[in-house]
Structure 1
Amino acid sequence: MRVSTVTDESTEEPAQSNVERVYDLVRDLAIRFELRPGERVNEVALARQLQVSRTPLREALNRLTADGFLDCRTGKGFFRRNLEVKEIFDLYEFRQKIEIAGSELAAERADPTKVQELRDFLEISRRDDPERTVEDLVALDEQFHEMLAALSGNGEIVETLRRINARIRFVRWVAMENDRRSHTQCEHVAILDAVASGRPAEARQILQHHIDARLEQITEAIRNSYAQIYMNGTRAEAQ
């Protein structure tokens, strides 16, 4: 009897789709702080709650660890990552220095063709789209800042910024839902205008304010989230 060696894509796709679904569900639990910071993830209970097997759940948890929502501790399992304000401040301060350096170089070196590509990207990204998720908004914001850094012509600046973005991505979800997107987009346009016109001092000033404001917003969101977490926890224990 001949044994077929053709992979059944119809079974692979649903499996991958299931991992994506579980990833989204657990990520939402983390964002809404239904998983408290520092809390251990009970995989058995979570699999039962989501009505999934352990395999897609484990894949989703590994992805969430890579994205910074969870920590994986050897021999202990997965934990909701703590939100350390000092760590976030340090990363944003570093991001600010890197982006300012990139913008100053970009004001000297920017290729007009690349500047126009970034303008086109901004024009598309600032359009209202009810289908966009918080994930989409974070990705668009990261893409703008990385494209801006790329105008510097310095690949190390771009790569460093990408690494910083990967480390702060998990916490940006906390604040993005309350983001004043139209104001953010106007600042993006102003930053690009300053760079394109060869005005590094102006680009520096706008970027500094832009990132400072974002840090304040995120810090406040984290504090509010912690207050909400423990207020809800106290109520639940009292019932």
Structure 2
Amino acid sequence: MDQPSFIVPSSSTAQQVYDWLHDRILRGDLAPGARLSETEIAGQVGVSRQPVREAFIRLTAAGLAEVRPQRGTFIGRISVGAVLSARLIREAVESDLIRMVSATTSPALLAQLDQQLEAQREASARQHVEDFIALDDQFHRSLAKAAGHADVWDVLEGLKSQMNRLRYITARVFDHQKLLDQHTAIVEALRDGHADRAEQAMRLHLRELLTDLPEIARNKPEFFTK
């Protein structure tokens, strides 16, 4: 793992170690099944083992790590059930949100979404997966905020850790163009003031995972659990 340089003495060390490991697990830098060593990570970060141990406990509680008796702590496999549940919740919530947005769409919002789409295209052209996913999240957060429910996106974000792990895998494997086209279809439906089409485009977009997941699971069965 890369040498981190983020530890700030004035903040909780355990929280900082947790955030760092959490981010690396979601991005796939730490693959499912990889062993976590308290001693190794403490040495790399430059802290005692106690905050690392606390971070491991939190990762385990979040379903991102697992303790195997007499063997140690390992990166947890991706829960297919958790991914599908998060996707279902997102579709139900975001389909309602997009209908709310369609009733109040403004030129300023459309300009903002157009700019975000262009930034996504640029990130895709650079093959920068982290930027692409961050911009994807920004796009959906902007729609939730436009609907007057930015806090709802924060709730969704807390539910989709396992889903985000899959997103990083698919963003490295599959062509981004389909997702870009789907985002564009959502924006064009809003531009036309067509609520039904906007909702349909959102549902289609969020169901893309149902196609991607089986293929990834077949190719990387060791990464997944029910």
TM-score of the alignment, normalized to the shorter chain, above 0.5: yes
Say which of 24, 32, 35 aligns to 1:27. 24
For 2:44, the equivalent position in structure 1 comes to: 52
Q: Map residues 1-20 of structure 1 onto 2, 5 A cutoff.
A: 15-16=5-6
Unmatched 5+ stretches in structure 2: 8-15
SS at match of 2:6: helix
For 1:208, the equivalent position in structure 2 comes to: 203
For 1:11, the equivalent position in structure 2 comes to: none
State whether residues 85 and 219 of structure 1, in contact with CA within 8 Å, keep that contact through their aligned partners in structure 2: no
Which stretch of the first structure deviates more once superposed, 138-147 or 165-174? Answer: 165-174
The answer to whether the aligner puts 1:70 opposite 2:67 as a matched pair is no
Q: Map residues 1-239 of structure 1 onto 2, 5 A cutoff.
A: 15-16=5-6, 23=20, 27=24, 31=28, 34-36=31-33, 41-44=36-39, 46-47=40-41, 52=44, 55=47, 62=55, 65=59, 70-71=64-65, 78-127=73-122, 133-166=128-161, 168-227=163-222
1:200 to partner: Cα distance: 1.3
TM-score, normalising length: structure 1 = 0.67
Relative contact order (C-alpha < 8 Å, sep 6+): which is higher? 2
1:98 to partner: Cα distance: 0.9
1:148 to partner: Cα distance: 2.0
Q: Matched residues in 2 for 1:161 and 1:125: separation? A: 21
Q: Identity of paired residues, percent?
A: 20
Q: Matched residues in 1 for 2:6 and 2:144: separation? A: 34
Count of aligned pairs between the two proteins: 207
Q: Deviations over 1:83-128 (max 9, x none)?
A: 2211210110000111100101111112321221111221222125
Which stretch of the first structure deviates more once superposed, 202-211 or 92-101? Answer: 202-211
- The 3 A distance-change label for structure 1 pair 127 and 226 is same
Unmatched 5+ stretches in structure 1: 1-13, 230-239
Which stretch of the first structure deviates more once superposed, 115-124 or 215-224? Answer: 215-224
1:81 to partner: Cα distance: 2.1
Which stretch of the first structure deviates more once superposed, 165-174 or 207-216? Answer: 165-174
State whether residues 69 and 170 of structure 1, in contact with CA within 8 Å, keep that contact through their aligned partners in structure 2: no
- The 3 A distance-change label for structure 1 pair 140 and 60 is farther
SS at match of 2:74: strand
Q: How well do the aligned residues superpose, as a CA RMSD in angstroms?
A: 4.0
- The 3 A distance-change label for structure 1 pair 128 and 162 is closer
Q: Which protein has the larger Cα radius of gyration, Structure 1 or Structure 2? A: 1
Runs of 4+ in 1 over 6 A off after TM superposition: none
Q: Matched residues in 1 for 2:117 and 2:190: separation? A: 14
TM-score, normalising length: structure 2 = 0.71
**One-letter amino acid matched to 1:16:** F
1:33 to partner: Cα distance: 6.7
Q: Deviations over 1:142-186 (max 9, x none)?
A: 111111222212334333333344553233222210132122112
